[in-house]
């Protein structure tokens, strides 16, 4: 074997997208991506769109790395099962799906280790929403991820719609406005 071939074999992946990550690595990359989003949030004068965009990009990358090859045409039920096994479980995130139909899935997030590990709870929630939205829209480009905050005051309900209406397409902006308002209430 030549010297350059040996060096190529020893070079570790530069990005999380360049390797098949084990659970611990994936969790580390998730936390690092969140920390980068928080740093960027602070340098861009508290613009929550930054955190959401970085979360969405991470979600699209997760989809490309862990889910894309498994099915060219997802059903919502298949996607939910793969999401739980290949993404949520390694990240330590836990959902309870209350409804899964051909076009709509509803869920509550039971556990998000990111919000426990940081003092930036709003940023962690927004980043996680972005990751989930990036994952979902990669599989269902005509869909939308909604949040129903009225269902339970202590816990938001996520609604995955395989085919979003024109009104649903404004959900991203509504979520951003909500988090901008929350940031102002926190005094930041």
What residue ranges do the domains of the chain occupy? 24-185
Distance, in Å, from the CA atom of 111 to the CA atom of 113, rounded to the nearest integer, reads: 6
List residues bridging with 107 in a β-sheet: 97, 158
Q: Is CATH 3.30.1380.20 the classification given to domain 24-185?
A: yes
Given this model, what pLDDT does residue 57 score?
96
Cα angle 62, 63, 69 (rounded to 5 degrees) comes to: 125
Predicted confidence (pLDDT) per residue in 62-108, tens digit: 999 988 888 878 899 999 999 989 888 888 888 888 889 999 999 88
Distance, in Å, from the CA atom of 162 to the CA atom of 137, rounded to the nearest integer, reads: 9
Question: Is the sign of the CA dihedral 21, 24, 25, 26 positive or negative?
Answer: positive
Segment of 9-13, 15-19, 34-38, 114-118 carrying the highest mean pLDDT: 34-38
> pTM of the full predicted structure?
0.81
Cα angle 92, 93, 94 (rounded to 5 degrees) comes to: 115
């Amino acid at each position: 074997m030549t010297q350059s071939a040996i060096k190529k074999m020893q070079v570790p992946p530069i990005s999380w997208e360049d390797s098949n990550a084990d659970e611990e690595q994936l969790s580390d990359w998730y936390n690092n991506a969140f920390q980068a989003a928080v740093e960027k949030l602070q340098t861009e004068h508290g613009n929550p769109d930054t955190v959401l965009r970085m979360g969405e990009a991470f979600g699209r990358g997760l989809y490309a790395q862990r889910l894309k090859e498994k099915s060219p045409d997802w059903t919502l039920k298949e996607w939910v099962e793969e999401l739980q096994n290949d993404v949520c479980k390694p990240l330590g995130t836990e959902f309870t799906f209350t409804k899964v139909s051909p076009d709509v899935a509803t869920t509550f997030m039971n556990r998000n280790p990111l919000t426990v590990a940081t003092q930036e709870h709003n940023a962690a929630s927004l980043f996680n929403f972005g990751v989930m939205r990036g994952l979902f829209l990669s599989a269902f480009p005509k869909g939308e991820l909604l949040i129903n905050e009225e269902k339970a005051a202590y816990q938001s309900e996520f609604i995955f719609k395989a085919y979003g209406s024109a009104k649903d397409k404004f959900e991203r902006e509504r979520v951003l406005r909500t988090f901008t308002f929350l940031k102002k209430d926190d005094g930041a």
